Chain A
C-alpha cells in the first residue's frame, strides 16, 4: 500500500496571533511552527499501517523552504520519504491542485489529510483534492482500516458516528480519533538521525491559480472585563443572562 500524508505547517497551538504589514499578513515573528495537529493524527495512523500491515509512507507539504523543519519532523516520526512542492500556498484550491499532481505522479492508494488546518481553518483541501482526482472521499474521519483494496471508515456526524465501507483509492480528511492522542509519537534520537538520510524531494509547482485571497486580517475586538457576580447573588446572573446577554 502506498500512502501519502499531506501535512500543513501551522503555528503552534499556543502561539500568539498577530498581524503585520497593515494587517495584511500573519506575523510569524517569534512563532513556533508545528505539523498541523489533524495531520499528525493521520501521519501516526499511516506509520501504524506501515508497521502492522506494510506500507510505504510519503509525506508532502506545499510550501517554501521554511517548512522543511516540519517535514523533517514527519520523517523523524517514521515517514519513508518526503516531497515539498516549492510554492507558497495561496488558497486551498491551489494547494489541492498541487497535491493532485503529486498523487497522480506517485499513484498512491490512500491519501490522508487533516480535515482542516489550524491556521486558516479552511477545511477545503481534502474534499477538493478528492474531487480533482475522482477518488473516494471520507471527511471527519475518526477511524480507518484497510484490507486489500477495501476500506472501512468511521466518520463523525453531528450527534454521533457512522461506519462506512468503500474501496481504494481513497482520500481521508482525518482528525483526532483516527489515532488517540496518547498514541502520537515524539521523534526519538534514532528517528531524528535517520530522518537526515531520508529523501526530501523538492518538486516545482504546476500552474494553479488561486480562487480566493486573504486581503486583510483583524483581531477580535478587545473584550470588556469580566463581570463578577457574588456566589450569594445568583439571581443577578440569571437576570444578566436574560436581560443583558439575552441568551436564556
Chain B
C-alpha cells in the first residue's frame, strides 16, 4: 500500500527535487495512513532519503539502465509500484520524470495529474490542486482511477526533514528488449552552469540591456547568487543569448524561488513563463513597464547603474552571511 516515489540520482547525489518529492510524498503517505517507498536506479549511497521521510528504498542496479531510457525506467517504476501495492505514485517535474509519468500511468491503468502544487485537497475522493493555463489559474483535479500517478511541480512544497532511516532492499526488475529501442548517441550538457530547470534563482535580461556585450553584469550577478541566467524572447531571437535561455510562453517555464528581471518589459507572453516563480524582482527604467504589476519588489532606474552596484552589495552580504 506504500506511496511510491521515483527519486532521481545524478552525479553522486540525489537531486534536490527528489528530496522535495520525498518530503511531499511522506505527508501524502501519512494522510493515507501508510508508509513511503522510494525506488532508485543505479544510485550509490541512498541513506539521505531517510532524512526526508522515506521508510524503504528499493534499489535497482542494472548496467542496462546506466543511461536514462523512458520505457525501461517506466518498467522499473511500474514493477516497484506493483510490488508495493502502491495506489499513489509520485514523480518530480524534471524533463526525464515528465517523460516517464504518462508511460507509468498507462502501465498501471492509472489517472495522471501533472503540475501538482500542494498536498491533496482531499484523499477520498482523491483531489489535487494543479497549475493550469500557464500558471494563470489552478485546477482542482479528481483522480477517479484506483491507482493514481502525480507529478509534483518544482519548488512547490519545499524540503521537510524527518528523523528516520530508510531500510534498503535490492530490487530486480524484468526488462525486455523492446524497452531499448531508443538509442542515445550523444549528450551535450552545459557544465559548470546552473540550468534554468534546476535553478533556485534566475537572473534574466531583456532588450533593455541593449546588446550581448552587456551580459557580463548579468552573469556576474547570477554568479554571486548561484543563479541561472535567462532572457526574454527578442534577446534570443537577436542571438544575443542562446535559445535555451529564452523563457516565457514559447520558451522555458521558470519555477524558481526568486526571479530577477532586468530590462524586461513584462509582456504577457513573458510573464506566462515565470508566473510559477515565487518572488519576482524587477529592475526597469520605465515606471510604466507592465512587469511592475506582477513584481513583488521593483526598482525604477537604469540597469547599467543598479546591477553592478547590487552585485557589489550582494557580494558583501554573502561574505558576511556565510
Residues of A in contact with B (beta carbons under 8 Å apart)? 11, 13-14, 17, 19, 26, 37, 91-93, 96, 118-128, 130-132, 134, 136-140, 152, 156-167, 173, 176-177, 181-182, 210-220, 223, 226-231, 234-235, 237-238, 240-242, 245, 247-248
Q: Are B134 and A118 in contact (CB under 8 A)?
A: yes
Across the interface, name the chain A residue whose C-beta is closest to B302.
A231
For the complex, what is the distance from the CA of A247 to the CA of B278, rounded to whole Å?
9
Are A120 and B195 in touch, CB under 8 angstroms?
no
| CB of B50, distance to nearest CB on chain A (Å) | 25
Q: Report if B60 contacts A (CB, 8 A).
A: no
Roughly how many angstroms separate A17 CA and B74 CA in the complex, as a whole number? 35
For B298, list chain A residues within 8 Å (CB). Answer: 226-229
Please measure, in the bound complex, the distance between the C-alpha atom of A163 and the C-alpha atom of B282, giving whole angstroms.
37
Contact of A17 among B136, B187, B243 (CB under 8 A): B136
Q: By the criterion CB–CB under 8 Å, are A214 and B140 in contact?
A: yes
Give Cα distance in the complex from A38 to B18, angstroms: 28
B94 & A242 in contact (Cβ 8 Å cutoff): no
Which single member of B103, B138, B243 contacts A130 (CB below 8 Å)?
Answer: B103
Chain B, Cβ-Cβ closest to A19: B137
Q: Which residues of B contact A159 (CB under 8 A)?
A: 189-190, 193, 195, 197-198
Residues 91-119 (chain B) with a chain A CB within 8 angstroms: 94-96, 98-103, 105-107, 110-115
Please name 24 pairs of A and B residues whose Cβ atoms are closer than 8 Å in the assembled complex, sorted by A.
Answer: A19-B137, A37-B250, A118-B134, A121-B114, A127-B100, A127-B101, A128-B102, A128-B112, A131-B103, A136-B181, A139-B99, A140-B95, A157-B68, A161-B188, A162-B184, A164-B183, A182-B237, A211-B111, A212-B112, A217-B132, A217-B139, A218-B140, A230-B299, A231-B301
B296 close to A (CB within 8 Å)? yes
The distance in angstroms between the C-alpha atoms of A128 and B103, with both chains bound, is 6
Contacts known (A121-B131, A245-B296); A217 close to B71, Cβ less than 8 A: no
In the complex, which residues of chain B have a beta carbon less than 8 angstroms from the beta carbon of A96?
A: 106
Interface contact A164-B185, CB-CB below 8 Å: yes
Distance in Å: Cβ of B173 to nearest Cβ of chain A: 17
Tell me whether B188 and A162 are in contact (CB under 8 A): yes
Which residues in A have their C-beta under 8 angstroms from that of B105? 93, 124, 128
Q: In the complex, which residues of chain A have a beta carbon less than 8 angstroms from the beta carbon of B275?
A: 220
* Residue in contact with A127 in the complex, picked from B99, B137, B281, B302, CB distance below 8 Å: B99
Tell me, rounded to whole Å, the shortest Cβ–Cβ distance linking A24 to chain B: 10
- With A and B bound together, what is the CA distance between A160 and B245 in angstroms? 11
Contact assessment for B102 and A127 in the assembled complex, using a CB-CB cutoff below 8 Å? yes
What residues on A are CB-neighbors of B151 within 8 Å? Answer: 123
Judged by a CB distance under 8 angstroms, whether B55 is at the interface is: no
Q: What is the 8 Å Cβ interface bit string for chain B, positions 256-282, against chain A (1 contact, 0 not)? A: 011000000000110010010011011
Looking at B20-28, B32-40, B308-316, the stretch in contact with chain A turns out to be B308-316
Distance from B279 Cβ to chain A, minimum over Cβ atoms (Å): 5
Q: Chain A contacts of B181 at CB under 8 A?
A: 136, 166-167
Task: Identify A238's interface contact among B96, B269, B317, CB under 8 A.
Answer: B317
Q: How far is the CA of A149 from the CA of B189 in the complex (A)?
A: 29
**A216 and B137 contact, Cβ closer than 8 Å, known pairs A127-B101, A227-B297, A237-B299:** no
In the bound assembly, the distance between CA atoms of A176 and B182 in angstroms comes to 22
A128 to B272, CA, bound (A): 26
**Minimum Cβ distance to chain A for residue B285 (Å):** 10
